[in-house]
Amino acid sequence: MLLLTQVIIILLAFTSQQHEATASSIVLPINKHTDAAANVLFSTHAYFDNSQYPDPRHDTPAYFNSQYHQQSLLIDLDAPFIWHYSYPHQDGCDACPYAVTCREVPCTDLRTTFSYQDPSCPPPTNHSMYEGYFDCELCPVNIISPVTGSCSQALPTYDQFMFTTSNNGKNVLFDDLYTAYPTAASTPPWTFDPFPSNVLGVIALSTSPYALPAYLHDPVNRTVGLCLPSTTSNPGVLFLGNGPYYLNPKSDVDVRSLLSYTVLLKQPDSFGYFIGVNAIVIKNRSIVIPANATSTKINTLNHYTKLRTDVYNNVVRRFSSVTKRIPRANKLAAPFGLCFNTTVNGTNVGLKVPDIDLMLQDGKKWTVSTRNSIKQVTEDVACLAVVDGGPTSEHAIVVGTYQFEDNFLLFDLEKSRLGFSSSLLRRGTSCSNLDFTVTQ
C-alpha cells in the first residue's frame, strides 16, 4: 500500500446549548504515531455527545462527563467537505430533521461543484443507500478514502462542532469553547475498516466553502496554523485563527515573527494549497523547474515529497554529487533512490548534508534542512527522503509531511498567502513545545 501520512485533529461536537468563544484561536494537539494501515500518521481525539453517537469503542477523558466520547479524524488539505461517523447510521430516522435533503442547495453543491472527483465513483441518486431511509429523501454524496483511494457514499447533515480555545496562544481553555456549524457528511463505521485504529472521519481544511475554515467566524478568522511533531512522545499543534502562537521555551516569541510569506496559488478543480517554486537549489546550483510546472502542492496525505521523474532525477543526481564522500548503503531502501551507510567501524554516525532550498516565485526561500531531507530508515541506512512521482505526475512537486515536520505553516485564507518558518529546531524550539494542559 502506498505510504501515506495523515493528520488527525481534535474536534468537539455537542448538541447542548453553549456560549460562543471570545478567544482568538482554536488550539488542538496533533500526535504522531505509526500504524499498520497507514505506516505513519498524526492523531488526536474528537468528542461527541454519547446520546447521539453511542459507540463503545470510544473513551471519555477525565475532564468530560460520561455524556461525551472521543473520535479521531484525518486532516486533509484537499477534501471538499467534512465526513465522519455520526447519527444517521443508527437505527431509525431520528436524524432526518438534521439531514440535507435532495431538494436543498447543499445537496446540489456537494454532488457537483464541491464534490470528490474520481472516475470510480458512480453518480449518486436521490434516495438513500441505506435501508429504512427512503422516506427521508436524504442526499447521498460520494467520498474518497484517503487511505485506500476507494469510493463510497455518505449522507450530508447540518452538524455542530465545538473546540477548545486559547486567548493568549500559550494555554488551552476549556471554559471558553468555540462553536462551528458545518454541513458535514455522515458515514457508517464500516467505511473506516482500513483506517488506522479508532479513526472515524476526515476533517477538511481546504479552501472549499464546505471545508471547516469556511465556517469559522468572529473572533476566529480563516487562518490555519499547522505544526507537525517529529516524535511520537509529544504532540504538535494545530491553530485555527490568527494567533498569537507561542512555543516553549521561547514563550515570549510569537511564531508569526519567524515566518516568511508567499502567495497561495489557485488551481482549477482543486481546493488544495499551492505555491510557486521556480527552482530547487542544492549547494549553490539550481535545478530549474519548467515554466509550465512551477505550481507546487502542499499535501498532508503523502509522507514524503513527490517529484516528477525529470525533476526527481536531477535532484538525486545533484544531491549524490555533493555527498559523494559519504559512503553509500549496500542496498536501497524502498521507496527511496539514494541511500547512505551511517555506520563507521560499527558506530552509527549522524549525517550532515547540504540544505535543499525551494526558491519561490516571489523571491522567498523555503529551506529544507538535514532533519527534513534525510530519513533514518534502519540503524545502518539513511536515505534522501524524496520519492519518484512518475513521468506524468500532475504536479512537478508535491511537498509531503516529512518535509515540514517541526516547520510552522500558516495558511492565511483571508490574505491568500502561506507563511512558513523553515525548521523551528534551528530557532531553538519545535512543534512539540506548546503546553496542552487544559485550564478552566
Q: How far is CA 95 from CA 71, 189, 350, 359, in A?
A: 19, 16, 56, 51
Residues 227 and 259 in one domain: no
Longest pairwise C-alpha distance within the chain = 73
Q: For 340, phi and psi rounded to 5 degrees?
A: -120, 150
Residues 239 and 384 in one domain: no
- Asked if residue 434 belongs to a domain, the reply is no
pLDDT at position 131: 54
What 3-state DSSP class applies to 5? strand
- Asked if residue 439 belongs to a domain, the reply is no
Give the number of other Cβ atoms within 10 Å of residue 343's Cβ.
14
Residues 223 and 330 in one domain: no
Domain that holds residue 271: 255-427
Residues 271 and 386 in one domain: yes
Overall number of domains in the chain:
2
- Asked if residue 351 belongs to a domain, the reply is yes
CATH code, 284: 2.40.70.10
Going by C-alpha positions, the residue among 297, 272, 264 that lies closest to residue 399 is 297
pLDDT in tens, the chain (440 residues): 333 434 444 444 433 334 444 668 898 888 776 775 566 666 555 555 444 444 433 444 444 444 555 677 888 999 999 998 875 544 445 445 678 888 899 999 999 999 998 888 888 877 655 555 555 578 889 999 888 888 998 989 998 887 888 888 888 887 777 888 899 998 887 788 778 777 788 889 999 999 999 999 888 999 999 999 998 888 899 999 988 999 999 888 999 999 999 999 999 889 999 999 999 999 999 999 988 888 999 999 889 999 999 999 999 999 999 999 999 999 999 999 999 999 876 667 778 899 999 999 999 999 999 999 999 999 899 999 999 999 999 999 999 999 999 999 999 999 999 999 999 999 999 999 998 876 65
Among residues 184, 211, 244, which one ends one of the domains?
A: 244
Going by C-alpha positions, the residue among 367, 430, 24 that lies closest to residue 236 is 430
Residues 96 and 142 in one domain: yes
- Asked if residue 211 belongs to a domain, the reply is yes
pTM: 0.88
Residues 221 and 285 in one domain: no
Residues 323 and 398 in one domain: yes
Residues 161 and 20 in one domain: yes
Q: For 427, phi and psi rounded to 5 degrees?
A: -100, 5
CA torsion angle for 91, 96, 98, 101 (degrees, to 10)? 130
Q: How far apart are CA 329 and CA 332, in angstroms?
A: 7
Q: Enter the C-alpha cell of residue 266.
A: 489557485
Q: How far apart are CA 204 and CA 6, in angstroms?
A: 12
- Asked if residue 227 belongs to a domain, the reply is yes
Peptide bond into 196 cis (omega under 30): no
- Asked if residue 218 belongs to a domain, the reply is yes
Give the number of other Cβ atoms within 10 Å of residue 364's Cβ.
16
Q: How far apart are CA 146 and CA 114, in angstroms?
A: 17
pLDDT at position 392: 93
Using alpha carbons only, give the angle 107, 272, 114 rounded to the nearest 5 degrees: 10
Q: How far apart are CA 186 and CA 429, in angstroms?
A: 39
- Asked if residue 151 belongs to a domain, the reply is yes
Q: Which residues contact residue 45 at a Cβ distance below 8 angstroms, ignoring those fewer than 6 apart?
A: 10, 61, 70, 71, 72
Among residues 216, 244, 272, which one ends one of the domains?
A: 244
Residues 240 and 285 in one domain: no
For 402-436, give one letter per residue: b (16+ CB within 10 A) or e. bbbbbbbbbbbbeeebbbbbbbbbebebbbbbbee
Among residues 244, 272, 301, which one ends one of the domains?
A: 244
Going by C-alpha positions, the residue among 272, 361, 224 that lies closest to residue 79 is 272
Residues 308 and 224 in one domain: no
- Asked if residue 440 belongs to a domain, the reply is no
Which amino acid type is present at position 87? Y
Residues 164 and 145 in one domain: yes
Residues 260 and 239 in one domain: no
